[in-house]
Structure 1
Amino acid sequence: MKSHIAALLLATSAVFPALAQTLAVKTSAPERYVVKKGDTLWDISSLYLNSPWKWPALWQWNPQINNPHLIYPGDVLSLHYDSEGNPRLSLAKGVRRLSPQVRVVSDKNQAIPTLPLAVMEPFMRFEQAMGESDFDQLPMVLGSNFNYKMNIEGHLLYVKGDLPRGGNYGIYRKGDAYRDPDNGAILAYESILVGTGRVVRTGNIEAGKPSTVKIESVRREVKPSDVLMPISSGQSYSANFKMTQPVQAISGNIIASSNKLREFSTMAVVVIDLGRKDDLHEGNVLAIHRQSPTVIEKESGPSYIEDASSLDKVITQVSEWFGEENDEDSVVWHMPKEQVGELMLFKVYDNISYAMVTKTRQPVRVGDSVSSR
């Protein structure tokens, strides 16, 4: 195991050659820290580093634990420096913290998650991003045992599909399309969990017999044309990710947010228009940037383009279309993008990814760009 970790650290230094030289621990970083229940790996990384994704370079693998990326409540972390002056964080040996007020209980069966599990869990367990053909292939709600357009808990649904008796299913509705902001192409569709149900009678499509599903819980009313997807009993998923920066240079955009608000801050879940096709993976950390406003400089002085006259806006737009210079009386200044935050991917599809905003310098918006720095 130790040789594998050494190889991992060497690979990390190869990907980030300047990391060892630029790694700097915060002046406020504690020399020792006792991991508490409710901590996340991101929280602890942020205690020591301004760039938490550099955590693998700081964390010193310790043979006392089986997995170098897992830390547990009750563990005591110790900050020290190696012979070359590089900061290292490791699991303190033989250290027990005694307190008359707080007792930290070590739970070796549940490592702390990388990000807050309560925020990620609904998206990891239920939420899906699907294509048009995916919806068409799923069992569809035809109606119920009541002549209602909307159904609630306890109603029986009749579903087009041969579903196994006793099976547990999530009931979904096609939501908004996730679109490429450049050309409007549909990348995927949001699938909205509206309820759950259990199959009480199997069906037979060839005989024209629908399956019968009893609604067991609802988040909103179930309607005809909603579709079903199985929920695995005891479904498991990892809440621990290796935080890394993508090797390749990429750029994309935030195209949606889970709260549907115009602006949002840390711990918000967003959707970006990048995915596996861009060689992205769960745990990748991206920077969030916003375009600074364009300025038009005229004899009367500079002004933001949104404050300029309608004629100036048209002239500026036409000039940009044809790649022409503006007249001598006005100069258009295209300002740079500025970083406004960071996010980490936790669920990656082919064309899109779900991510959590982990750091903000100002409120983040749909339309802000993301990049690998």
Structure 2
Amino acid sequence: MQKLVLTAMIAATFSLAQPGLVAGEDKGELVRHTVVKGDTLWDLGGGYLNDHFSWPKIWELNPEIADPHWIYPGQVFTIPKYMITYPSDKPAAEEPVLDDDLDALAALARQRSLSNQPLALRVGDDLLDRMSDLEQDADAQLLARQYDQGIGMVTRDLPDAGRVLSTQLGWGHAAGGEAVLIETPDACPGQKFGVYRNLGAVPPLTYRGESPGYLLADIAIIEVVGDHENGRLAVVRRAFAELKAGDLLGPAQEKPVIVPGATQERLSFNATVVALQFQQQLAGPGTVVYLNAGRNQGLKPGLRLAVREPQESQATGEVMVLQATADRAAALVTEKTRRAVKAGDQVGPAER
């Protein structure tokens, strides 16, 4: 089986075992995958279904997976063979494919400014004065690592700056350093955009309630480098996942800023977990969750909050705010969490 190039979002090395095929050529034919150390459902979705975001399908097909965050070496999962796709199996794209001249332009742009290093983390001057070495600040490093994997956000309005039309390879995907063709009005060379994928409307938390908004996944940061007869040419500067034709363009994702004093502020508010990263049902340590509170309620990167079950007073977990908009926030479930976090859990100031 061909090796796959993993994106910056994948936390573990993907090792795909040779599948065993069940005889037959109809849709009942199955592929068996034996889990090895380092496997995740995210990886298996990318490996077998050619789309990391399709991992819930594997979960649904294998009800013995009690918690999608925890799969173990030796477990055997089955996937219908007709569902399996690989990049090499995809037909040639009908969208415009970039020509050699534009490939050369993209190569020049990459030589000029493309960096393989994580984007730098900005830290307030006051905090820098209190740090002798940023490498020793656990929260700052956690924020930096999570930013480099993509955070995502729940939002009421979808990005509307444009969309991805095609990619350098012409088969609908692109990763860091590759060229993409985009449709966006009035974009200038050097202008950067964030690339996002709409994972759908978040279900209401109550019967007949309103959806909290759309769940967006951070996909990439791109930079416009030239014009094309069918759109504009851009180069992928930072890839959190593989780009696809149809991904949305909006403002480039901002780097996390640790706000001085964020962890010491006394706040009084109540918020709710409205969604989990990649539309998961349960969230363990290291998973991003989304809250229906934001800057207006005093939430800032680095702030740690307590998580409780509805109607319970005792905290069962903790999240750390990664980034916040006016009325929404993304937060990371920390190692202090004793129970899986789910939509509907209550979030508030941590106990002192």
Higher Cα Rg: structure 1 or 2? 1
